Structure 1
Amino acid sequence: MACVRLIILAVLAFAAPVSAQDMSAFKTGPVFEGFGPHAPVEGMGPVPADTEFSHAFDVAVPAEEGKNSRGFESAARFINMHVAAGVDPDNIRVAVVVHGKASMDLLSDEAWAAKGRDGANPSGAMIREMLDHGVRFILCGQSGIAYGITQDDLIPGVETALSAMTAHALLQQRGYTVNPF
């Protein structure tokens, strides 16, 4: 039995460094200074400056309590890392399609409180800043109905589509690719 414990401890000792992440190279900016961390990648060729992106993110997982939405953060990271790599920010178009339980993350602070949530919407400031930079946030209308969310409940500037499926289909027709994860 002591031998089994010793083997387990040895495995854990070697596994811990493998699973640890070094986030020291990750920085925010240049577009969003408070969120969207990314790291430079050594040895890769430059992203051509004339590159154009039309990219959609699908977000169905709600933010952890008291934190920014990871899905929204991914959209900000996409913008930050490509601008840092030399892509003109005017050549980056991003849409965030939100459905399911993540729909609540689009609520204004007033609607957030009216739905029984404490404090302000933790993702609210990030969404407003991203909207100011041209990021589109699109609520699935079907999820909105399911969760009792009206257009008046949303942060100003958030759009509503018939459904998330409709939003993605329309974005694809306009040349947007969908983030695969």
Structure 2
Amino acid sequence: MKNFVKSYYLESFVCFLIANLLSIAAFAQEAHYPIVKGHGGIFDIQEATAFPDPTLQYKIVVDIKEGAGGHKSINASLNNLARIANLHGMGGVPKENIDIVAVIHGEATISILSDISHENRYGTPNPNTDLIRALLEGGIKLFVCGQSLRARKIDARELTPGIAISLSAVTLVTTYQLKGYAVLSY
């Protein structure tokens, strides 16, 4: 009887271990980057039953105000821009049907400094530079709030190339919202 109990517990443990390893393998997927290369990795969800409509024109304006939490970290809100584009791309929406505009302000403003300006101010190159380039190459339009620039004493020449300046975050968001863009905020 003792051997039967040991055998039963051993078999149960082995089955438990195999089931856990299989579930881990199911979740251990590689990230995909269909629109913004190398950033904003997303995963294929085989169980999903709701997807974006690939025939729609997705117009999204994103209000980015959160900082990175340090001068050596990638700004998670900027990375979410890549995720938004990649999620729509993974969902079957063609790149030409994805129009994402972002306005960066508040604490996030320092995330878009050029490497030289970031290094002069904080002693390290901007960790967001590659992400910003990938976002621009992915077709995402990036604006910075002019009011945030002035409040932080940042000159337009200190920005990473490709960043446009708006009068304010508020006026950019309201203008695009009135043009029919969905508003997201990070």
TM over 0.5: yes
Q: Per the alignment, do residues 132 and 180 of structure 1 end up closer, same or farther by CA in structure 2, a change over 3 Å counting?
A: closer
Output the TM-score relative to the length of structure 1: 0.80
Offset at 1:26? 6.2
2:84 aligned to 62, 78, 83, which one?
78
Offset at 1:152? 0.8
In 2, are the aligned partners of 1:99 and 1:140 still within 8 Å (CA)?
A: yes
Where relative contact order (Cα < 8 A, 6+ residues apart) is larger, the structure is: 2
Which one has the largest radius of gyration? 2
Structure holding more helix per residue = 2
Where in structure 2 are there 5+ consecutive unaligned residues? 1-25
2:146 aligned to 137, 141, 144, which one?
141
Write the letter of the residue equivalent to 2:55.
D
Q: Per the alignment, do residues 43 and 62 of structure 1 end up closer, same or farther by CA in structure 2, a change over 3 Å counting?
A: closer
1:27 aligns with 2:27: no
Residues of 1 paired with 2:147 and 2:153: CA distance? Answer: 10
Write the letter of the residue equivalent to 1:36.
G
Residues of 2 paired with 1:152 and 1:64: CA distance? Answer: 24
Write the letter of the residue equivalent to 1:133.
G
1:37 aligns with 2:41: yes
1:163 aligns with 2:168: yes
Q: Deviations over 1:142-170 (max 9, x none)?
A: 11001111211111110111111011012
Aligned to 1:17: none
Offset at 1:180? 5.0
Q: Deviations over 1:32-65 (max 9, x none)?
A: 2321122233141443321211111111111133
Where in structure 1 are there 5+ consecutive unaligned residues? 1-21
In 2, are the aligned partners of 1:108 and 1:154 still within 8 Å (CA)?
A: yes
2:63 aligned to 43, 58, 63, which one?
58
Q: How many residues align?
A: 159
Q: Per the alignment, do residues 24 and 124 of structure 1 end up closer, same or farther by CA in structure 2, a change over 3 Å counting?
A: same
Q: Per the alignment, do residues 27 and 125 of structure 1 end up closer, same or farther by CA in structure 2, a change over 3 Å counting?
A: same
Q: Per the alignment, do residues 161 and 180 of structure 1 end up closer, same or farther by CA in structure 2, a change over 3 Å counting?
A: closer
Write the letter of the residue equivalent to 2:105.
H
Offset at 1:124? 1.1
In 1, are the aligned partners of 2:111 and 2:128 still within 8 Å (CA)?
A: yes
Write the letter of the residue equivalent to 1:37.
G
Residues of 2 paired with 1:118 and 1:34: CA distance? Answer: 25
